[in-house]
Amino acid sequence: MRRRGLFGRGKGPTTATLAEVARRELADPRLIALLESHALAYGFDPRRAPASAAVLPYMEQTFGSWYVRGGMRALADALYERCRARRVEFTFGAEVTRIVEKDGRAAGVELAGGRLAEAEFVVAGIDPVQLPGLCAGRDPWGADAVRPDLGPGDRATARLTVCLALRGARPREAVHRTVVHAPDRAAELAGVFGDGHGLREPCARPTVTVLRPDDPATRPDDGHEAVTLTATVAPHGPVDWYDAEALAGEADRMTDVAEAAVPGLRERVLWREIVPPTESGPVPGPALAGQEGRFLHPGNRTAIPGLYAVGGWSHPGGGPAHAGMSGAIVAGLIVNGDDWRGST
C-alpha cells in the first residue's frame, strides 16, 4: 500500500505547495490560516512556497521558540563580549568595498578610504546578492550553484514593525505571542504579493503578530508595558513606504487588529515607533526543499578559494540560529578543508 505523504499525489516529490497541503489535509479554515501564517511570517507566499514549509510550525510546536531576555540587543552584546574574550578585533563603521584576491584566492578586504586588511580567509556576512559587486567582476558563484538572485522567493515582501509604549501594567496572564489572522485571506495575499496586475493595495485587516514579552528590561517600570506588532507587507516600490501617511495608516490598521489580543490597546498607547520596510529590508527565510530549488539559499563555499558566505541569506537561511549554523559550517570548512561535510 502506498502511504499518502505530504508531497505525494503522483506529481513528483517536490511540486506540492503549502496551500495545496493545507487544502488537502485541513478542513477548518482557522487551521489553514495557522499553517499558512508560518510561511507568511517569513514573507513566503503559501500558494508558491513548497510543502516542506509545513516543517516550520511543526518545529515550533514540537521544540518551541526562543526569546532573548533584554531583546535582540542583549544577544549582540553577549556575542560581542564573547568575541572580545577570544581576542577578536572589531572595526566598526567600516564599509568593505572590495574583496582582495591574490594568486586566484581571497586574500583580504579593502575598506572605504583605501585601507587594506590582509587575511588568510574572507568570510562575507552580507547578502550574497551584493557579493559579485565586491569581487571585481569575478563571479563568486559557480555555474551549478544556487544563485542568490533567483531564490529564495521571499525578497518580494517586507516586514513592518510597530513598537508601542503603553501606560498600565502588563497583566500577569498576558500571552507572549498572539497571531491575529486576516479575516480575508485573498485580500491579504493580493495586498502583499500583488493581484496579478501589479497592484498591491494594503488590506484593511492584515495578519498581525502581537508580542508581549514578560521582560522588565524592555519597560521603564511595572506601571508600563512594551508591545511590538509586526506584519508582512508589500516591499517598498509597489507601496511607497517613504510616504509618512501610508506608513501611519498601516500602523493604525495593525494597532486596530491587535486590539483582539490586547483589549483597550489604543487608549493605552503613550508613543509609538514605526520601523519601516525601507529600514529593515526583507526578512530572510529558512532554506526550503522543493519548488525546483527556488527556496534554497546559496551555499557557504564560493567559487573563489578562501572566500565563504555566512548569514541569513546564505545556507541554511534566516534567523540568528540559522545564521549561527552557517558560521559553524564555515568554521568546519576552514578547519577541516572544503571537502568537509559536517561531521568528522
Ligand X SMILES: Cc1cc2nc3c(=O)[nH]c(=O)nc-3n(C[C@H](O)[C@H](O)[C@H](O)COP(=O)(O)OP(=O)(O)OC[C@H]3O[C@@H](n4cnc5c(N)ncnc54)[C@H](O)[C@@H]3O)c2cc1C
Kindly list the residues in this chain that would bind ligand X in the complex (CB under 6 A): 95-96, 125-126, 130, 159, 161, 280-281, 283-284, 311-312, 318-320, 323
* Closest CB 283 distance from ligand X, rounded Å: 4
Q: Which is nearer to ligand X, 39 or 323 (CB)?
A: 323
Residue 8 and residue 14 in contact, taking contact as beta carbons nearer than 8 Å: no
For the CB of residue 143, give the shortest distance to ligand X in the complex, in Å: 25
| Number of residue whose CB is nearest ligand X | 311
Q: Which long-range contacts (CB under 8 A, 24 or more apart) does 54-59 make?
A: 54/6, 54/18, 54/21, 56/286
CB of 231 vs ligand X, minimal distance in Å: 10
CA atoms within 13 A on the CB side of 4: 4
- Give CA–CA dist 55/91, Å, rounded: 39
Residue placing its CB nearer to ligand X in the complex, 290 or 311: 311
What distance in Å separates the CA atoms of residue 298 and residue 251, rounded to the nearest whole number?
A: 34
Comparison of 8 and 125: residue with beta carbon closer to ligand X:
125
CB of 225 to ligand X, least distance (A): 19
Nearest Cα to Cα of residue 143 among 302, 340, 14, 254: 302
**39 vs 96, beta carbon nearer ligand X:** 96
Distance from CA of residue 241 to its chain's centroid?
19
Q: Which is nearer to ligand X, 191 or 286 (CB)?
A: 286
Q: How many CA atoms lie within 13 A of 297 on its CB side?
A: 25
Least separation in angstroms between CB 311 and ligand X: 2
Least gap, CB of 24 to ligand X (angstroms): 29
Query: 141 or 313: whose CB is closer to ligand X?
Result: 313
User: Counting Cβ atoms within 10 Å, is residue 139 exposed (0-12), middle (13-18) or buried (19+)?
Assistant: middle
Q: Taking a C-beta distance cutoff of 8 angstroms, is the pair 160, 250 a contact?
A: yes
User: The C-alpha cell of 233 is what?
Assistant: 507587507
